[in-house]
Amino acid sequence: MKALTKYWFLEGFNLFKKLGMVSMMKICEILEMDNIEKGNPIKYSEKHKDSIIFLKKGSVKIVDSVTKSVKYIVKRGHIFGELALYDKEAAKLEEAYALEDCIICYIESEQMENLMEKHKSLKNGVLKIYGLRIQKLERRLSDLLYKDSATRIKEFILEYIEEFGKKNDEGQHIANNLLSHKDIANLTNTSRQTVSNVLSQMRKNGLINYDINSISINNNQNNYHL
């Protein structure tokens, strides 16, 4: 694929904001691009193995290959697979699946390491992303200790809609309903039945609406108490 097309691909990533066009074009020369259909694995593929992956379109879930539980969700404009830069053995225990049709660019971890040595802003950006992943994990552990399951689910749902959704003309935040109840249970350290019960209660009390395709926050959310 032409370098200019790849340049367009990377232009929306904060990771590259401080790099000039010349540096960006050089990076584009070694990037590979791919389309992944909804439901398909990404990191199973040999060509994506040990790669840092840039997500231009769609959403991806990262799964522990041993427990098969969901670890976190990646939205467009973000990267994943960066663990290969720091711990290749641990990176092998992660799998990625497309929650929607996705467009990705990917680069081998060794090539990415070389780029990070040449461009300090790129290195700092990747370290920041890795640090934020650790912070989220620490927060989940803290929530597990100090918040009950219903609160963890409620907060996760609201944050998911706000992060992955958009406002419609009526001012409601609406997101694609991409996660199963089992996925949400994994991400909140609860059970699938508890997730189902809490979601039903949230809808009954007018906080959210959801169906098979979408999930949204109602405008009266500030008056809601679980």
Taking the chain (226 residues) in consecutive chunks of 10 residues, what is each chunk's mean pLDDT?
A: 66 78 82 90 72 92 92 91 87 91 91 90 89 88 93 95 87 90 95 96 93 86 46
The verdict on 120 and 17 lying in the same domain is yes
Give the structural domain span for 131.
3-135
The verdict on 105 and 20 lying in the same domain is yes
Residue by residue, DSSP assigns 168-222 as -TTS-EEEE----HHHHHHHHTS-HHHHHHHHHHHHHTTSEEE-SSEEEE-TTGG
pTM, 2 dp: 0.85
Encode 137-165 in three state secondary structure. Answer: HHHHHHHHHHCCHHHHHHHHHHHHHHHHC
pLDDT at residue 226, as a whole number: 43
The verdict on 115 and 165 lying in the same domain is no
pLDDT at residue 89, as a whole number: 86
The verdict on 120 and 21 lying in the same domain is yes
- How many domains does the structure of the chain reveal? 2
What count of residues does the chain have? Answer: 226
The verdict on 116 and 157 lying in the same domain is no
The verdict on 125 and 152 lying in the same domain is no
The verdict on 12 and 103 lying in the same domain is yes
